[in-house]
Amino acid sequence: MIVFPKAIDAASDLACVDVGDARLTVRLTKIAETMAARPKASLPDAFDEAGLEGVYRFMSNPAVGFDRIVEAQTKQTASRCGKVPICLVVHDTTELAFELREDCYRTHLSRISSSRQGFFLHASIALSGDGSLQPLGLVAGLPYVHAKGVAHDAESKRYWEKRGGLFENEGDRWLDSVTVSETVLAETGSRVVHVADREGDSFGLFGALVQQRKEFVIRLAQDRKVEGDGVDVISDAVSTTPFLEGTREIEISKRTPSKQLSARKAHPARRGRKVLMSFRRAHVTIPRPSKRANSEHLPSKINLTVVEAVERNPPPGEEKVRWLLLTSEPCDDLDDVLRVVDWYRARWVIEEYFKAIKTGCSYELRQFAGAHPLLNMLGVTLALAMQALELRSRARVEPDAPATQVLSRGQIALLVALVPKHKLKPDATAHQALMAIATLGGHLKRNGPPGWLVLYRGYTRLRDAETVWHAMQAAEKM
């Protein structure tokens, strides 16, 4: 039986934020509790007049900072990671953009387009590596801007330089996040494996990881040169090896066309479908690129394993699915290869996390006038989004576990009353309880398994009902 780490609760994770004033920490906890009940709501809808003023004052307070809010979360993440043997740290970047209205510029944000300002978030999240992919929390969060977006605004440029969000080489953010993650998880005793998509394909990154003896899985974006008899590039090396006996069916998600041309080219639209994948691997020696500047500190060559996961017979009209994964793992047999492939597939969880930030918590609709309050609000939103993401996963880790592992007995009793058709019993399972919550959130069985958004909507409605129940009990005692 899998032992559940303690459930992620945004308010609890933020309760240890150190901003030099205990009253500010209390206020932050109350803000998180209120927003957790209705994460998608606008601030005026979520708070009364006094509460709304308190939110704006808190987020604009110079004593409050994004880094301190994140640090509180990473401490709690480390505590949860210490309870699992393998911890996957997934790294990725997303754009956070805010509409320009009537040329009303927000201070210190980068100009993304003629109608949008914003910045980028490079995030690192921890997942359990036991196959469950249970979210364990945020490990690192690095907001940054493209230098060209603030080049003509000296004050904004200084702002981002001061907080470490302006790079001479933006690829450095990957290694920076790995370094921060390793520091956060150093005392956990958990085995740490870093996972990155194609944007992480950089000799500077995996060369440093090899040098530091870190474990990783990175999807390749380019067919790199290799050393060896009769082979010039990685594809040559892989093609000389036989496919391993054994296949695996995986499900790829639907991908809608991106608004950005570069993103459409890198990630073309596709329909969701099941794919039968075959596998092979090769051990390669990759030389340090001769044209890479300032790389003398990196190894002249590195020995790694490349895993190819490929759809050998795609349906007519469908583009073949193919991944080339560079890993520190030796991959001696099929089980090793499948483990590496599954570790890479964990990368999709961070996509859901970004969706939780933007869609589930409506972050890009927040109306703060500058970078400082927006970053503070982002710090809170990161905790709320992780709570939402983790909720769905808990029932999937072990569906037959008691419902009391995901909900309190009082919440289960409320579910019995609110969703009578599910006929929940005192000994209900986690899966049965989560399905009742999904129904409360508007889920219909014909739509397949519930997603995190409908589950979180149902959970917030349950929390609302719980709040009313407690208020009624308090009123009766008066």
Verify that 139 and 202 share a domain, yes or no. yes
Verify that 378 and 403 share a domain, yes or no. no
Verify that 443 and 327 share a domain, yes or no. no
Provide the pLDDT for residue 265.
61
The CATH number of the domain where 466 resides is what? 1.10.740.10
- pTM, entire model: 0.88
Provide the pLDDT for residue 294.
67
Confirm whether 444 is domain-assigned: yes
Confirm whether 347 is domain-assigned: yes
- Three-class secondary structure assignment of the chain: CCCCCCCCCHHHHHCCCCCCCHHHHHHHHHHHHHHHHCCCCCHHHHCCHHHHHHHHHHHHCCCCCHHHHHHHHHHHHHHHHCCCCEEEEEEEEEEEEEECCCCCCCECCEEEECCEEEEEEEEEEEEECCCCCCEEEEEEEEEECCHHHHCCCHHHHHHHHHCCCCCCCCCHHHHHHHHHHHHHCCCCCCEEEEEECHHHCCHHHHHHHHHCCCEEEEECCCCCECECCCCCEHHHHHHCCCCCCCEEEEEECCECCCCCHHHHHHCCCECCEEEEEEEEEEEEEEECCCCCCCCCCCCCEEEEEEEEEECCCCCCCCCCCEEEEEECCCCCCHHHHHHHHHHHHCCHHHHHHHHHHHHHCCHHHCCCCEHHHHHHHHHHHHHHHHHHHHHHHHHHHCCCCEHHHCCCHHHHHHHHHHCHHHCCCCCCEHHHHHHHHHHHCCCCHHHCCCCHHHHHHHHHHHHHHHHHHHHHHHHHHC
Verify that 266 and 117 share a domain, yes or no. yes
The CATH number of the domain where 347 resides is what? 3.90.350.10
Provide the pLDDT for residue 444.
83
Query: What range does the domain containing 462 cover?
Result: 399-477
Which of residues 318, 353, 385 is at a domain's end?
Answer: 385
Provide the pLDDT for residue 264.
54
Which of residues 353, 385, 417 is at a domain's end?
Answer: 385
Verify that 242 and 342 share a domain, yes or no. yes
Verify that 215 and 259 share a domain, yes or no. yes
Verify that 375 and 454 share a domain, yes or no. no
Verify that 201 and 335 share a domain, yes or no. yes
The pLDDT profile of the chain, 478 residues, written as one tens digit per residue, is: 344 456 788 889 999 898 888 999 999 999 999 998 788 889 999 999 999 999 999 999 999 999 999 999 999 999 999 999 999 999 999 999 999 877 678 899 998 888 899 999 999 999 999 888 899 999 999 999 988 878 678 899 999 999 999 987 888 899 999 999 999 999 999 999 999 999 999 999 999 999 999 999 999 999 999 998 888 999 999 999 999 999 999 888 777 766 655 555 666 677 778 899 999 999 999 999 887 666 778 889 999 999 999 999 998 888 899 999 999 999 999 999 999 999 999 999 999 999 999 998 999 999 999 999 999 999 999 999 998 888 777 766 677 878 887 788 888 888 989 988 888 887 888 888 888 888 988 888 777 778 777 887 788 788 788 888 888 888 887 7
Confirm whether 394 is domain-assigned: no
Verify that 320 and 205 share a domain, yes or no. yes
Confirm whether 108 is domain-assigned: yes
Verify that 381 and 403 share a domain, yes or no. no
Provide the pLDDT for residue 105.
84
Provide the pLDDT for residue 300.
92
